[in-house]
Amino acid sequence: MRSDPAQNNRGLAQRLAEAEATIKALLSGQIDAMVDAESETPVLLFQAQHALRQSEEQYRQIVEATSDGIVKLDLGGGIEFVNPRFGEMLGWPPDGLLGTNLLDLLRPAPSVTLRDALLGRPSAANDEIEATLCHQDGREVAVNLTAVVLADGAGAPIGTLVVVRDVTQQKKLQAQLMVSDRMASMGTLAAGVAHEINNPLAAVIANLDYVASNVEGVVTGHGVMEIPSAAWLAEEVKGPLDDARLAADRVRHIVKDLKIFSRSPDAEVHGPSDVRAVMESALRMAWNEIRHRARVVKVYGQTPLVDANEARLGQVFLNLLVNAAQALPEGQAERNEIRVSTGLEAGRVVIEVSDTGMGIAPEIIGRVFEAFFTTKAVGSGTGLGLAICQRIVTEMGGQLTVTSQLAQGTCFRVALPVATREDAEVAAAPFAEVSASRRGKILVVDDEEIVLRAVKRSLAREHDVEVVLAGARALALCASGRKFDLILCDLMMPVMTGMDLYRELSKLVPQQAGRMIFLTGGAFTPDGRTFLSEPPKENIEKPFDSANLRAIVRRYLG
């Protein structure tokens, strides 16, 4: 069979034209790839490679511009690559870290879990891990690490890629949030506390006024009797004074509760704490929120001490109590109940706060501990309270959990480990009255005249008491050669503080400095705390009652 020469020619001409077009396209850079006809595999041409390089460049720019540190490790943890951000986090130029082992930069030395994750061991979890890295200047940098195993084409591990996020700022913010939440709680309760103080204070003032007018009557002769009988004195003077004293004691308790909550959070003092006492304080603080809404039922079982920071624990209890109160409608206190119980379960101290409110719907109960989750109206809750409570409890090694039934109520449960140290501070027992030892010379230094007069009245029958309103005046007296058996001195005073006076006296008349006892109001500055504890110095907390004050002075002089 013969082919058609004309058709053959047309086909040939077309192939030629195509070849020409291909060469033209090649020369003008319009060809990306070709097929190797022999091996039947595609081959990318220069432009395509260039495009790939561009895409790699884009990835490089992303790696360099990201706010996270990125580190590539070999199988032993040696650093093969870091992006500039990681170097910056630790104060090194990026090249300065190549060859260093990442495990050596961790403080403290890494746990097994962290080590496995960083070295890409199969057992390792893929979660973010909290860790601390060492900065070039020695300080510590808090980070979250996520490690991904890198594998070759056959799936064999060749190292790990670690993404490092600097969480120093985040940690600071969390700490600030905790403080601001406490401030918010305090703000909510300030009105209630003022109310709690005002009631007994009204009783103190009314009773003192009553006594003052009675006594004035006797003194000026306009009263019922000119020479008061014992019965009249008991009825008209002693009775009201006793009531005033009782009321003043109530104020003292409330101020003591406030001190628990306002204790500086940076002190972070952990110690054996009685959860019942902390709960009682929290109940008194929250009383104004609770009393219109519910009866309080307390069931305190056997409750060993826990190792906790009382201010933090108080913040948790206060939050739970206020939440419980707010779950109940106002004005039906007799029909609703807030139940507070403590006890020991499976070796842990368990505290429960439950209410008979409307309960939490099952679909949202899983979210109550999320930050910023709130069901309260805008402005009445930050949505942070429970999230922060959970964090505090977790940091104490405990758990905060919730159970709830719609229309039945909700129960929050705190489980805490029992304190291992049983060196609980012994509550300051009132000093037994001891008979007067000897008449001493006492100097009292305070910037409050009212305090000076009260201390002088309490001590003047048994001792020679001199009072001064300023540290400088006390210093001048001692410097002039006057000798005192005891110097009672306020710690916090304007101009010259008790601490300043102590330091000055130590230089001028050291034996007098050694005779100082400090009066403290509780609101310590960090300096004040250090001063009193190193080396330990005697101090008396305000408010003090006169019997205790006299006992302390006698003990000191005796």
Partner 1 sequence: MRERSTSLPRCVLRLYVAGNSPNSVRAIANATAICAGNPDAGYRLEIVDLLKFPKRALADGVIVTPTLVKLRPLPVQRIVGNLSDTAEVLLALGDQ
Sites of contact with partner 1 (CB under 8 A): 14, 18, 21-22, 24-26, 28-35, 37, 40-42, 44, 47-48, 51
**Which CB, 9 or 408, lies closer to partner 1?**
9
The nearer residue to partner 1, 51 or 476, going by C-beta atoms, is 51
* Smallest separation, CB 32 to partner 1 (Å): 4
CB of 9 to partner 1, least distance (A): 14
Query: Can you tell me the distance from the alpha carbon of 550 to that of 546, in angstroms, rounded to the nearest whole number?
Result: 6
Q: Which residues make beta-bridge pairs with 69? A: 164
The answer to whether the CB of 232 falls within 8 A of the CB of 225 is: yes
Closest CA to 280 of 300, 294, 262: 300
CB of 172 vs partner 1, minimal distance in Å: 45
Q: How far is the CB of 5 from partner 1 (least distance, A)?
A: 17
The distance of closest approach from Cβ of residue 59 to partner 1 in the complex, given in angstroms and rounded to an integer, is 15
> Smallest gap, in angstroms, from Cβ of residue 12 to partner 1?
13
Amino acid at 219: V
Q: Where are the beta strands (DSSP E) in 184-328?
A: 271-273, 295-300, 306-308
- As a whole number of angstroms, the distance between CA 303 and CA 306 comes to 9
Residue with smaller CB distance to partner 1, 24 or 439: 24
- Mention every residue, 6+ apart, whose C-beta is less than 8 A from residue 214: 223, 236, 237
Comparison of 39 and 67: residue with beta carbon closer to partner 1: 39
- CA dist 558 and 554 (Å) reads 6
Q: Toward partner 1, which CB reaches closer, 36 or 422?
A: 36
Q: How far is the CB of 66 from partner 1 (least distance, A)?
A: 24
How remote is the C-alpha of 521 from its chain's centroid? 23
Q: Which amino acid makes up residue 437?
A: S
In our burial notation (b when 16+ CB lie closer than 10 A, e otherwise), range 363-396 reads: eeeeebbebeebeeeeeebbebbbbbbbbbbeeb
Q: Which is nearer to partner 1, 48 or 208 (CB)?
A: 48
* Closer to partner 1 by Cβ: residue 41 or 480: 41
The minimum distance between CB 17 and partner 1, in angstroms, equals 9
Burial of 153 (0-12, 13-18, 19+ CB in 10 A): exposed
Single out the residue of 551, 550, 524 nearest to residue 537, CA to CA: 524
Residue closer to partner 1 by CB (options 8, 405) is: 8
